[in-house]
Structure 1
Amino acid sequence: MNVRAPAVRIRAAVCTDLPALISLDSVAADDPRRAVQIGQWLADGHMHVAELDDTLAGYRVQHRHFFGEAFIEMLMVASPLRGHGVGSALLLHATSCSAGARLFTSTNQSNANMQRLLAAAGFQQCGIVHGLDEGDPELIYRFATDDVR
């Protein structure tokens, strides 16, 4: 018997997504500042969401504030839906939207799951920043493209 994998759909976030975005964010449950930040990202138009079988499953925030280059500031997948392709779909969408342009992101050294996800999506570590989170350096990644500007 063949079982169809649920399809992940990526779309631009809209204002009515705000309650679901706050609900799925694992940090917002304990830090009300994250809910405000999510609202700001949404208002700025820098957010895409992933839907899995018509349920909001994750989001990605991307801007060009990293030395003028595209940067994924946040990638969040609802805890119960991790490992179902949502993060991969959000990264694939980001790389396809970048179409050969440079694309960067970062994650803490302690976040091994995100590091594996980035490597599987074709990102390569290209730097490190100490001092943002004490004792947990921020690893910088670049999407590996064939182009050189």
Structure 2
Amino acid sequence: MKTVVRANIEDLDKIVNIDSEVIGNKSRRDCIENAIELGHCIIAKEEDDIVGFLIYDTNFFECSFISLIIVSPSKRRKGYASLLMDYMIRTSPTTKVFSSTNRSNISMQKVFNKNGFIQSGIVENLDEGDPEIIYFKSK
């Protein structure tokens, strides 16, 4: 059974392990821990196993901004990113929700489009030669 809930500090190691599986290191541990402590980390579970997570903040022009969505590689294309985004939109503390992805990340662009996000701008010069596309959805 698939569920989505807010993460608690006991979930930290499992979340960091999923992140490490994707990026190859545990460099975001402090960021993830901070998000959990603020109540800004959401996890997707399959039965009792954490299979993905979403981190957001509300510092983007006083709007919610999804800064990170990570799903374990073995669990991708099974709807977990969409479940996380749906939960985020429904529970967002702001009416406007933004996020972004690189122009080269076609898979994530498809997830945004599937979930009703629209393109809202482009930021150049974050990653050389790979502009960041900003996405938006209203609650």
Q: Structure 2 length as normaliser, TM-score?
A: 0.91
Q: Does 1:22 align with 2:16?
A: yes
Q: Any idea what the Cα deviations from partners look like across 1:104-146, whole Å, max 9, x if unmatched?
A: 111111111100001000001110001111111110000156x
User: In percent, how many aligned pairs have the same letter?
Assistant: 32
Is the 8 Å Cα contact of residues 35 and 56 (structure 2) preserved in structure 1?
no
**Residue 57 of structure 2 corresponds to which residue in structure 1?**
63
Q: Following superposition of structure 1 onto structure 2, how do residues 8-19 of structure 1 map, counting pairs within 5 Å?
A: 8-19=2-13
Q: Following superposition of structure 1 onto structure 2, how do residues 129-144 of structure 1 map, counting pairs within 5 Å?
A: 129-143=123-137
Query: RMSD in angstroms over aligned alpha carbons?
Result: 1.6
Is the 8 Å Cα contact of residues 8 and 85 (structure 1) preserved in structure 2?
no
Residues paired across the two proteins, number = 137
Unaligned runs of 5+ in 1: 1-6
Larger radius of gyration: 1
Q: Structure 1 length as normaliser, TM-score?
A: 0.85
